[in-house]
């Protein structure tokens, strides 16, 4: 190595060749005493060739060893083993190659260590989350299951490699029924005091070019019961407010009517009775709205022509069409329920402070179905109202029940769709109802 440091490899080869040429020439001159010139040259060459080959191999041996070491470390890197390095005392191009190779090894080692730490952190988070997580391969076998999934479906045993259908066969019937229905949804295990509410979520994705499925089971009992209590408190407050607003004037007017009869002043009785009737009908409509919301049946899907549907809707609440609606446009949904949802949205649009003639409906094809936009030119909604507008019993109106948008959302989600609210540029609101095919 030290000799290679003093003299470049090319210079070493040239020096060895010159030395052997000189030796061969001297040997050939010696042989001329006995042999002819050509014979002497051939003999000298044959005698010097083995020595030349041996010297060249000795000169190239360190380089060959270096190349073998480099090939070995590359193979180790391919196998994710970064514990090797190469030492080279020479300089020049080979020295630069070795330095770059060692720098690459250090970089790979650092990246590998960082990746291992991230994998450990991710595995710790996945294993300790209360959400049961299972990853299934295309053959419906469990590839990965965290601790919560093992407790929920395997009694704490490892689930990797097992057929998911076999796990469902031993699981509670409610879990098996939830998976049989497909898609996301809530289901209940047990009853009475032992009742537990869970949410199932299913997602498909491709891993290494193969389709896998991720299953998430989350216990929602405590959270839902807390929300349920808050909802009931709000329902009671709203109903109490509406009942007091209606019953108090009814009681007062009934008392006043009795006094008028006692005094024989019957001329004012019709006005009092009309007010009583008005408040009673308002209360009746209020109670009917709550009952309708609480007893919304499952949608009955039937083929519907959009043009005829929108014409029927316009006969009840006026609006302007945005874009043409072809007579051939059809969809499958519960016409009565969707009509009720759109009537609520259109009435809300007309109750804004904007131009009633600017209330419009737009229908267009979406990627996953049909999108119906209800637009107005009112003041729109601030961020707080947008965040709560779809919640049941939430209303910014003095006499509002907070059920119009909530009922529209319930109908959309019962059809597998969704509803969204967005402020428009230039003022106004756009409420979008998306219905899947």
The pLDDT tens digits of the residues spanning 214-238 come to: 989 888 766 666 666 666 676 667 6
263 pLDDT above the threshold of 70: yes
Instruction: Find all residues with CB under 8 Å of 342, minimum gap 6, and list them.
Output: 313, 361, 372, 374, 408, 433
Q: If we measure between CA atoms, which residue out of 399, 400, 361, 395 comes closest to residue 381? A: 395
- Which pLDDT value is given to residue 135? 92
The pLDDT confidence band at residue 5, using thresholds 50, 70 and 90, is very low
Confidence of residue 3 (pLDDT cuts 50, 70, 90): very low
Question: Average pLDDT, stretch 80-101?
Answer: 70
Residue 252, φ and ψ in degrees, nearest 5: -65, -45
Q: Any bridge partners for residue 322, and if so which?
A: 362
| 289: phi then psi, degrees, rounded to nearest 5 | -60, -40
pLDDT band at 92 (very low <50, low <70, confident <90, very high): low
pLDDT exceeds 60 at position 40: no
User: What is the separation of C-alpha 422 from the centre of its chain, rounded to a whole number of angstroms?
Assistant: 22
Cα 229 from chain centroid (whole Å)? 30
Distance CA 84, CA 69 (A): 9
Q: What is the pTM of this model?
A: 0.43
Top mean pLDDT of 170-179, 185-194, 373-382 is at 373-382
Confidence at residue 118, expressed as pLDDT on a 0 to 100 scale: 86
Residues 98 and 271: their CA atoms lie apart, in Å, by 104
For each of the domains in the chain, give its residue range(s) and CATH number, in order of start.
2-111 (no CATH), 129-219 (3.30.450.20), 224-294 (1.10.287), 302-436 (3.30.565.10)
State residue 279 phi and psi, 5-degree precision. -70, -35
Beta carbons within 8 Å of 238's beta carbon, 6+ residues apart: 393, 401, 402
Residue whose entry in the numeric block shows the structure tokens 């929602």: 220
* 47-51, 128-132, 349-353, range with greatest mean pLDDT: 128-132
Q: Which is more confident, 391 or 310?
A: 310
The answer to which of 103-117, 296-310, 335-349 has the lowest mean pLDDT is: 103-117
Q: Rounded to whole angstroms, how far apart are CA atoms 207 and 213?
A: 10
Greatest alpha-carbon span in the chain: 168
Q: Are 283 and 246 in contact (CB under 8 A)?
A: yes
**What's residue 142's pLDDT?**
92
In this structure, of 55-69, 143-157, 243-257, 405-419, the range with the lowest mean pLDDT score is: 55-69
397-418: average pLDDT? 78
Residue 373 has pLDDT above 80, yes or no: yes
Q: 381: pLDDT confidence band, cut at 50, 70 and 90?
A: confident
- Averaged pLDDT score across all residues of the chain: 76
pLDDT digits (tens, 9 = 90+) for 176-185: 888 887 777 7
Sign of CA dihedral 331, 335, 339, 342: negative
Q: How far is 218 from 131, CA to CA, in rounded Å?
A: 5
Mean pLDDT of 20-31: 52
The reported pLDDT for the residue numbered 8 is 46
Residues 387-406 as b/e (b if ≥16 CB within 10 A, e otherwise) read eebbebbbbeeeeebbbbbb
Give how far Cα 80 sits from Cα of 103, 113, 123, Å.
Answer: 16, 11, 20
Compute the distance between CA of residue 433 and CA of residue 411 in angstroms, rounded to an integer.
10
pLDDT beyond 70 at 88: no
Cβ atoms within 10 A of the Cβ of 61, count? 10
**DSSP E strand stretches across 334-416:** 360-366, 369-375
Check pLDDT > 60 for residue 49.
no
Other Cβ atoms closer than 10 A to 338? 23
Per-residue pLDDT, averaged over 135-152, amounts to 90
In the prediction, which pLDDT does 1 show?
29
pLDDT in tens, 188-219: 887 766 678 788 888 888 888 888 989 898 88
User: Mean pLDDT lowest for which of 205-219, 239-253, 323-337?
Assistant: 239-253
Q: How far apart are alpha carbons 77 and 245 in whole angstroms? A: 79
Helix (H) or strand (E) holding 142: strand 142-145
Please say whether the beta carbons of 31 and 45 come within 8 A: no
Q: At what angle do helices 37-78 and 92-128 cross, to 10 degrees?
A: 20
């Amino acid at each position: 190595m030290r000799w290679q440091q003093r003299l470049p490899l090319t210079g070493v080869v040239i020096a060895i060749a010159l030395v052997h040429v000189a030796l061969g020439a001297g040997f050939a001159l010696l042989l001329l005493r006995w042999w002819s010139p050509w014979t002497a040259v051939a003999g000298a060459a044959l005698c010097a060739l083995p020595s030349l080959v041996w010297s060249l191999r000795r000169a190239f041996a360190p380089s060959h060893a270096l190349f073998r070491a480099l090939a070995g470390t590359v193979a180790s890197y391919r196998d994710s083993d970064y514990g090797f390095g190469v030492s080279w005392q020479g300089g020049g191009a080979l020295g630069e190659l070795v330095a770059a190779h060692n720098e690459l090894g250090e970089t790979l080692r650092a990246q590998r260590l960082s990746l291992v730490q991230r994998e450990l952190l991710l595995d710790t988070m996945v294993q300790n989350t209360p959400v049961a997580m299972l990853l299934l391969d295309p053959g419906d076998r469990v590839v990965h299951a965290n601790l919560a999934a093992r407790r929920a479906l395997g009694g704490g045993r490892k689930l990797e490699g097992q057929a998911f259908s076999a796990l469902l066969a031993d699981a509670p019937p409610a879990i098996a029924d939830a998976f049989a229905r497909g898609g996301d949804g809530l289901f209940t295990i047990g009853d009475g005091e032992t009742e537990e509410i869970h949410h199932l979520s299913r997602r498909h994705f491709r891993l290494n070019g193969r389709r896998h499925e991720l299953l998430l089971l989350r216990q929602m009992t405590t959270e839902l019961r807390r929300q349920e209590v808050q909802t009931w408190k709000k329902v009671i407050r709203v109903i109490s407010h509406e009942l007091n607003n209606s019953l108090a004037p009814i009681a007062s007017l009934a008392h006043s009517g009795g006094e008028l009869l006692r005094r024989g002043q019957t001329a004012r009785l019709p006005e009092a009775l009309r007010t009583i009737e008005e408040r009673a009908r308002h209360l009746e409509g209020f109670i009917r709205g709550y009952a309708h919301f609480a007893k919304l049946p499952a949608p009955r899907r039937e083929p519907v022509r959009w043009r005829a549907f929108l014409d029927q809707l316009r006969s009840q609440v006026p609006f302007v069409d945005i874009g043409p609606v072809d007579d051939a446009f059809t969809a499958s949904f519960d016409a009565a329920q969707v009509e009720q949802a759109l009537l609520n949205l259109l009435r809300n649009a007309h109750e804004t402070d904007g131009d009633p003639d600017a209330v419009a409906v737009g229908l267009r094809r979406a990627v996953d179905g049909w999108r119906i936009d209800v637009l107005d030119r009112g003041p729109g909604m601030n961020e707080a109202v947008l965040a709560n507008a779809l919640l049941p019993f939430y209303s910014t109106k003095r006499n509002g029940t907070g059920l119009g948008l909530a009922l529209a959302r319930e109908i959309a989600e019962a059809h597998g769709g969704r509803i969204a609210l967005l402020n428009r540029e230039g003022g106004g609101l756009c409420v979008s109802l998306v219905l899947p095919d």
